Chains A and B, each alone.
Chain A
Amino acid sequence: MTDTFSPIGRLADHRLALAGGILILMVSLMAVLAPHVAPHDPRQTDMDQSLTAPNRTFPLGTNKLGRCVLSQMIYGARVTLGVGMGVVLVSALVGMILGVVSGYYGGMVDEVIMRLVDVMFALPGILPALIIAGLLGPGIFNLMLALTITAWAGYARIVRSSVLTIKPLPFVESAKALGASHLYIMRVHIIPNCLAPVIVLATFGVARTILAVSALSFLGLGCQTPNFDWGAMLKESLLYMRTAPHLLVCPGLAIMLLVLAFNFLGDGLRDLMDVQANRKQKY
């Protein structure tokens, strides 16, 4: 291991994290540039080419309607990755604000917010999102709403505990003594110092959200036709499992690889942030 001070250099030490980052970047680029990258129009039907196995024209084969699976996956990545990142971004932001407020002010506000967090944790995993999404009705927006409503709690809890350790430190006390406002202290001293665990949690959060989105779409509670994501593609593949297994294998593998990539990146970031935390403690 090289001892380098640049975060990028240290991230590069973790080959897996780097590989994960590159994969994420590639999938993101493909999703953004979908119209230029996809070999076919994902909605173009061709009944003569129904359920063909992977071949030269259709690298990953076609589905029932003769649509190119590769193109569908490239466009589907927009939904899967977009929802994954969007949900995490919003819920991390909301969770962070509530966590900072909860930890900083304490008292009644803290009590109320933390009990709400407990409620969110009283049901395991994606169950609350499943119920909310199901009752709101299927659709991408409702799915995102449901996942965001349930995902903020984890961030709030972790931020609150970092705020509690930062709050009694001398630099916060001195800022207070110098007459800084609460808002200033939170913005300048508290939030930057509890960002690291949030970033790590958020990276793993994207992986979890991608799995959740896929599962909910698979159950018919997410993406609806004519829209599709990888989970919805898997749902569709059920009818043709025996005749066209490529429909089942490709989106599932893609989900797994992307989740793996985010987990690797999260592992790397966690090591990276820990190094920084250790260094800070040493001084």
Chain B
Amino acid sequence: MDEYLLKRMVSSVIAITGVSLLTFLLLFVLPGDPAEMLAISKYGPRDATQAAIDHLIRQEGLDQPVVIQYARWLKGVVSGDMGTSRISGKPVWQEINVRFPATLCLAGTSLVVSLCVGLPLGIVAALQRGTLWDHLATGTSLIGVAIPNFWLGLILILVFGLYLGWLPTFGYGTLPHLVLPAATVGISMAGITARLTRSAVIDVLGQAYIKTARAKGLPGRVILSRHVIKNALIPIVTIAGIQLGHLLEGTVIIEMVFAWPGIGRLLIEAVHNRDVPQIQGCVLYIAIVFCLVNVLIDLLYTRLDPRVRLTDRD
């Protein structure tokens, strides 16, 4: 397993390095001269004279080969310096650190919502297979998968914010502010959770040990809690892994809808402003978090299921 862990780590590091290289190169395939853009964003369009541009080129080392620029940038990243945002003028790391708690809060609450809605729905659907409950749960989960998450957010804003006036529709800070964004991301993920839980539970129900437990005369409640749920937990951890991508993606877009001051909004605003250092920082940050959590989930998976030898997986 240690070998497997090492292998996963190495491939994650390679992937993240690849991401960093590609985001760095983006700067050079962009339409427009990077030095000129930098000068305009730094001094404003009027003061971005040729002299100012030349000065910037020398100062930022933009006349050096790409490889050297990349190496220097990477060195900065490793030592915790990702440059400064071209819009706010603050260090990129600082901007990300300020925004991170908001994103973590939204993502965490959304995950809880998604599990609280999706797990029971999936379990009920699996236990009551073929009944109205199953169709209802399956139907809900299908719609949950197909609904555009930002649109769901807007509908919730319309109903609970504008018509009923129960909840604030944008902003950050208090618990009521968290309800709508977390409900949006959570509900839009609950569909997948329910679907995967349903098939996981159905899988377990078909196992021989469930038949044995039934034959022993164990009450249904005990079978459910001791045998079904416990064994279905393994695929459900995998679900959490699959969900992670949806979670991050959903959070980014929903942050825009609800003006939630997290990393997603920071990233999209940076994209709109072509604030390249900030984009590079956010992208690298999200990629690292994403890969790290994925590796952690894989580890958790091996701990939960001793039968799995992950070295066989690829």
Contact = CB atoms under 8 A, between A and B. Distances in A.
A and B are partners in one complex rather than unrelated chains: yes
B279 A119 contact: no
A169 B85 CA distance: 55
Nearest to A114: B11
A260 B146 contact: yes
A263 B31 contact: no
B22 to A, nearest CB: 7
A118 B268 contact: no
Interface residues of A, number: 41
Interface of B: 11-12, 14-16, 18-19, 22-23, 26, 30-31, 142-143, 145-151, 154-155, 157-158, 162, 244-249, 252-253, 256, 267-268, 271-272, 274, 279, 283, 286-287, 290-291
Contacts of A248: 151, 154-155, 158
A219 B255 CA distance: 11
A177 B309 CA distance: 36
Given A122-B15, A125-B246, A241 B162 contact: yes
Interface in A111-169: 115-116, 118-119, 121-127, 130-132, 134-137
Interface in A224-283: 234, 238, 241-242, 245, 248-249, 252, 255-257, 259-260, 263-264
B256 to A, nearest CB: 6
Contact of B14 (A115, A131, A263): A115
Contacts of B145: 259, 263
13 contacts: A115-B11, A115-B15, A115-B18, A118-B18, A119-B15, A124-B248, A127-B248, A131-B23, A131-B271, A131-B279, A135-B26, A234-B151, A242-B162
B191 to A, nearest CB: 10
A121 B15 CA distance: 8
Contacts of A54: none
A255 B145 CA distance: 12
Given A123-B290, A263-B142, 13 more contacts: A118-B18, A122-B12, A123-B19, A124-B245, A125-B249, A130-B252, A134-B274, A137-B31, A214-B151, A241-B157, A242-B158, A248-B151, A248-B155
Nearest to B251: A124
Contact of B246 (A123, A124, A245, A263): A124
Contacts of A126: 249
Given A124-B248, A252-B148, A241 B26 contact: no
A220 interface: yes
A116 B249 contact: no
A221 interface: yes
A255 B287 CA distance: 29
Given A131-B26, A134-B271, A135-B274, A124 B142 contact: no
A66 to B, nearest CB: 22
A207 interface: yes
Nearest to A121: B15
Interface in A167-213: 207, 211
Contacts of B18: 115-116, 118-119, 122
Contact of A127 (B14, B142, B147, B249): B249
A207 B145 CA distance: 10
A271 to B, nearest CB: 13
Contact of B290 (A122, A255, A263): A122
B151 to A, nearest CB: 4
Contacts of A241: 154, 157-158, 162
A64 to B, nearest CB: 17
B187 to A, nearest CB: 13
A249 B163 CA distance: 15
Q: Looking at chain B's contact residues, is the secondary structure mostly helix, strand, loop, or mixed?
A: helix
A264 B143 CA distance: 11
A211 B291 contact: no
Contacts of B149: 215
Contact of B151 (A118, A130, A255): A255
A218 B147 CA distance: 14
A178 B286 CA distance: 51
Contact of A219 (B11, B244, B268, B290): B268
A124 B274 contact: no
B248 A125 contact: yes
Contacts of A132: 26
A220 B272 contact: yes
A219 B256 contact: yes
B274 A263 contact: no
Given A121-B15, A241-B158, A134 B272 contact: yes
Nearest to B19: A122
Nearest to B248: A124
A123 B286 contact: yes
Contacts of A256: 143, 146-148, 151
Q: Which of A118, A131, A214, A238 has the most CB of B within 10 A?
A: A131
Contacts of B31: 136-137
A215 B290 contact: no
A124 B158 contact: no
Nearest to A117: B15
Contacts of B12: 122
A255 B249 CA distance: 18
B31 to A, nearest CB: 7
